[in-house]
């Protein structure tokens, strides 16, 4: 499937989807068929706790074009025991696990106490360093605290990803200074997404990624339905429109960026 989608020429990577969620898992064949038609050749499926991390790995074993991440989402944040930490390190050693996460701070939903979210993020940053893998960050209304926590890690941590980047341009600049990548979701197609659109126009193209966060955040024109990886195409098209360049240029750059961050090219030879 990967090869066929790549034959389209300009192909895309959905760098953040939850393939194990029922909306997608119930029809994976259809989901991948529509990926192929849309030129989406690779999907990174994301773990949000130990169970879903194991499912992500299972999917990456089953499908050659699927890669996985393992981590603990801020909604489920807790102080990790040594046993928890060892379990994540063990899972991260699987050959198709390309990052730790999603990890982070969510002060919008505040499902867990903020000090616990911060501690859990810090513990997972240690794990990312220990595993020598990038991190995938979920940060909502918490960029100041995030930057405070992450800055001391910047020299040791592989270039990492702010998924669904929702900060303003000033915040984007600080994240770019730390060597991070900004992953742009389907919300950039919404009329009220002016600040996100500004970030997309101003940021260097070699630091942008595209994602769906499927089944959430469905782009226009499918807003209101469950999202799925093939729709990442609408996000890439919107980015091309905003930057005044071609779709092919956006596809080529974001796909190269994803390869660089997640290392499924040649520089991490262990991966099949
Ligand atoms: Zn998230
Ligand atoms: Zn997610």
For residues 242 and 194, the answer to whether their CB atoms sit within 8 Å is: no
Domain assignment present for 193: yes
Give residue 235's domain range.
2-260
* CB atoms near residue 22 (< 10 Å): 10
CATH number of the domain that residue 240 is part of: 3.20.20.140
Report how far residue 4's alpha carbon sits from residue 239's, in angstroms, rounded to the nearest whole number: 24
pLDDT digits (tens, 9 = 90+) for 133-162: 999 999 999 999 999 999 999 899 999 999
Whether 42 maps to a domain, the answer reads yes
Assigned domain for 204 exists: yes
Q: Is residue 272, in this structure, part of any structural domain at all?
A: no
Ligand closest to the CA atom of residue 138 = 1
Look at residue 165 in the predicted model and tell me its pLDDT: 98
Residues, CB within 5 angstroms of ligand 1 (ion): 102, 138
Q: How far is the CA of 229 from the centre of ligand 1 (A)?
A: 15
Ligand nearest to the CA of 106: 1
**Going by C-beta distance under 8 Å and a sequence separation of 6 or more, which residues neighbour residue 233?**
12, 38, 39, 40
pTM, two decimal places = 0.95
Which ligand is closest to the CA of 214, given by its number? 2
CB under 8 Å, gap of 24 or more: what pairs does 194-197 form? 195/168, 195/169, 196/165, 196/166, 197/242
In a domain, 122, yes or no: yes
Which pLDDT does position 6 carry in this prediction?
A: 61
pLDDT for 134:
98
Domain-embedded: residue 265:
no
d(CA 114, CA 184): 25
> Which pLDDT belongs to residue 26?
95
According to the model, what pLDDT value does residue 266 have? 53
Q: Which residues of the chain have pLDDT under 70?
A: 1-8, 265-272
Whole-number CA gyration radius for the chain:
17
CA of residue 63 to ligand 2 center, whole Å? 20
CA 39 / ligand 2 centre spacing (Å): 22
Total of domains in the chain = 1
Q: For residue 1, what pLDDT is reported?
A: 46
The rounded Cα 104 to chain-centroid distance in angstroms is 12
Confirm whether 212 is domain-assigned: yes
Q: Give residue 7 CA to ligand 1 midpoint distance, Å.
A: 31
> In this structure, is residue 82 part of a structural domain?
yes
**What pLDDT, on a 0 to 100 scale, did the predictor assign at position 5?**
58
CA atoms of 119 and 269, how far apart (whole Å)? 33
């Amino acid at each position: 499937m990967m090869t066929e989608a790549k034959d389209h020429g300009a192909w895309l990577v959905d760098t953040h989807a939850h393939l194990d969620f029922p909306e997608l898992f119930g029809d994976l064949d259809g989901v991948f068929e529509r990926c192929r038609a849309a030129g989406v050749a690779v999907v990174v499926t994301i773990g949000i706790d130990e169970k879903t991390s194991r499912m992500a790995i299972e999917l990456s074993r089953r499908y050659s074009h699927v890669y996985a991440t393992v981590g603990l989402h801020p909604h489920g944040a807790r102080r990790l025991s040594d046993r928890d930490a060892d379990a994540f390190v063990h899972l991260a050693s699987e050959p198709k696990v390309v990052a730790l996460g999603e990890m982070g701070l969510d002060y919008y939903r505040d499902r867990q106490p903020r000090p616990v979210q911060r501690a859990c993020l810090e513990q997972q940053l240690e794990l990312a360093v220990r595993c020598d893998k990038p991190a995938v960050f979920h940060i909502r209304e918490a960029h100041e605290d995030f930057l405070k926590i992450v800055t001391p890690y910047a020299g040791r941590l592989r270039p990492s990803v702010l998924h669904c980047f929702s900060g303003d341009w000033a915040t984007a600049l600080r994240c770019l200074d730390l060597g991070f990548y900004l992953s742009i979701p389907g919300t950039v197609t919404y009329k009220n997404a002016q600040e996100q659109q500004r970030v997309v126009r101003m940021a260097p193209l070699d630091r942008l990624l595209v994602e769906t966060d499927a089944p959430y955040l469905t782009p226009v024109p499918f807003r209101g339905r469950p999202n799925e990886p093939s729709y990442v195409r609408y996000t890439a098209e919107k980015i091309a429109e905003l930057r005044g360049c071609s779709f092919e240029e956006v596809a080529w750059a974001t796909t190269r960026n994803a390869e660089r961050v997640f290392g499924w090219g040649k520089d991490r030879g262990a991966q099949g």
